Amino acid sequence: MKVLIIEDDPLHRSYLNEAIRAALPECDGVLEAENGNAGERLARDLKSAHIVMDLQMSQRNGIEAARTIWKERPETRILFWSNYSDEAYVRGVSRIVPVGAVYGYVLKSASDDRLKLALRSIFIESQCVIDREVRGMQQKSLGNVNGFTEAEYEILIDIALGLTDRAIAQRRNLSVRSVQNRLQQLYVKLGVYQPLGGQDDEGRFNLRARAVAVAFLRKLLNHSALERAEADLSAWLARQPHD
Amino acid sequence: MKVLIIEDDPLHRSYLNEAIRAALPECDGVLEAENGNAGERLARDLKSAHIVMDLQMSQRNGIEAARTIWKERPETRILFWSNYSDEAYVRGVSRIVPVGAVYGYVLKSASDDRLKLALRSIFIESQCVIDREVRGMQQKSLGNVNGFTEAEYEILIDIALGLTDRAIAQRRNLSVRSVQNRLQQLYVKLGVYQPLGGQDDEGRFNLRARAVAVAFLRKLLNHSALERAEADLSAWLARQPHD
DNA sequence: ATCTTTTCTGCGGGATCCCGCAGGGTCTCG
DNA sequence: CGAGACCCTGCGGGATCCCGCAGAAAAGAT
């Protein structure tokens, strides 16, 4: 059994290496990659790898790497080991995990023991391990309580990218008016909507831009989510003949 | 001589601790704080501390901490030790460094020796040390070559926060038209402006929203910059009587 | 099959945004 | 002093956005 580490911070890499050797004595080889690209390559070469990776790497974001790895080999087991439990990350991960796949998500702030336990659970006992905090985020995200529909999240991304209503309608196969409906819905859920009564900060905010701002502040969006979205967008634009 | 470490990652903290003891034998005490708040408190208690800190901490952002520390004791020497050289960070730091202050900015990806050398330069020889990469960012940022004026940066932040033209005008003491002028300027510099000729992706983008998106993608803006801006904004809103 | 709920859609109008045009300030340089 | 460069400002108009209203279509429920 071999384990592949994908992590760009050297300190964290060597810490992980040690933890893996300690927690998994049956493991007979630990490989390291310092970014998503190298990680994908190594994962492709290895027959069936067990992977521990960071999200948020400079070269190629962890979620992208995981997506292509899982696309080629859906049975690969991946433990995400991240600093944050931003909704953007959690949503990004649960969007790409294949059905029935074994994976984990533990925070770097977790204790030594928790990490080792997660390693054993996932790689030996084939059991998913999701940190409490991350799990909470998932629930809040997927349950409709204070949670965002896939449609709402989608349109949030579209305006964050700077698309016009018309472009969004075209991209999502909707009428312009429907796009605007979803926008209104989004504004309400983000607490950005301005009831006409309050003369207080009337007209201070541009709803569209404000929605993006609070989404960022609430970590519903983050840099890597935006990068992924931008990549998707330009792929779509290239596929688009002309208007 | 005592040194204060402000850094939220335990691994990096202990690594720093070791590096400091190795590089500065004349140092007779190393204190650690795991977030900005605790760091500020410790800095206040110590007579005259030398500080090494991370930007990007969860509780209270490094730039905020540095600002209050320097406000109380401008002669404090601070070495910023960060993962990134985002323009947003570099600009944030150089905006708050007091005149004549001794400080440093080195990346975590730098070698062991570079870090130790920086420690000695700053704390012993009173000499500023700025990483090449960061320095490059500074130049590009401050020089007008592909760089952004303070005014442009300011308005970028305002639209990123979601303010309307009118609100911006009010806040910055300008007419609405002037705000719009600056916006146009900004659009041009961000490469977002759409010359009327090109029928290609005509009308695909909402310039205002798109500008914010590319600013984020180019790391001209990041989460912590937005957080600071939001705090400033709400302070200003509170100070505002009513329109 | 019928009723209900949700979502999609067109219409229309007021507010906002984007920006060309033109006039009036300040500052510098010759 | 005038010429030039720069920024600020008002005006006006076309495009876009925000959203109430109401009918049509789709998805579920009884």
**Minimum Cα–Cα distance from A157: chain B residue:** B213
Confidence band (pLDDT; 50, 70, 90) for A243? Answer: very low
CATH of A150-239, one of 1.10.10.10, 3.40.50.1000, 3.30.300.280, 1.10.580.10: 1.10.10.10
The larger pLDDT score, comparing residue B144 to residue B171, is at: B171
Contact A206 B164 (CB under 8 A): yes
Kindly tell me the burial class for residue B79, based on how many C-beta atoms sit within 10 Å of its own C-beta (0-12, 13-18, 19 or more). buried
Kindly report the length of chain B.
Answer: 243
Q: Is the model more confident about A29 or about B214?
A: B214
A3-142 and A150-239 in the same fold = no
| Closest CB from B15, B209, B223 relative to A209 | B209
DSSP annotation of B135:
H
Q: Give the nucleotide with minimal C1' distance to the Cα of A183.
A: D18
Q: Which of residues 193-212 of B touch A (CB under 8 A)?
A: 199-212
What are the pLDDT digits (tens) for A210-242?
A: 999 999 999 999 999 999 999 999 999 988 765
Q: Is the pLDDT of residue B243 over 70?
A: no
Pairing of strands A103-107, A129-130: parallel
Residue of B nearest to A219 (CA): B223
Is strand C in 7 Å reach of the CB of B187?
A: yes
pLDDT of B119 reads 96
Residues in chain A with CB shorter than 8 Å from the CB of B204 are 163-164, 166-167, 237, 243
Domain ranges (residues) in chain A: 3-142, 150-239
Q: Strands, DSSP E only, in chain B?
A: 3-6, 30-33, 50-53, 77-82, 103-107, 129-130
- The answer to whether the Cβ–Cβ distance between B210 and A243 falls below 8 Å is no
Contacts of B199 in chain A (CB under 8 A): 242
Q: Note the pLDDT of residue B214.
A: 97
CA-nearest residue of chain A to B168?
Answer: A204
Which chain A residues are within 8 Å of B230, Cβ to Cβ?
A: 213, 217
The residue-averaged pLDDT of B120-145 equals 86
Q: With an 8 Å Cβ cutoff, are A210 and B166 in contact? A: no
Which tokens go with B161? 């926060």
B9-44 tens-digit pLDDT: 999 999 999 999 999 999 988 999 999 999 999 999
- Nearest 5°: phi and psi at A213? -60, -50
Over residues B217-222, the mean pLDDT reads: 95
Would the pLDDT of A139 be above 90?
no
Residue B27: alpha-carbon gap to chain centroid: 28
Query: Could you confirm whether domain B3-142 is CATH 3.30.110.30?
Result: no
* Residue B44 contacts A where some CB pair is shorter than 8 Å: no
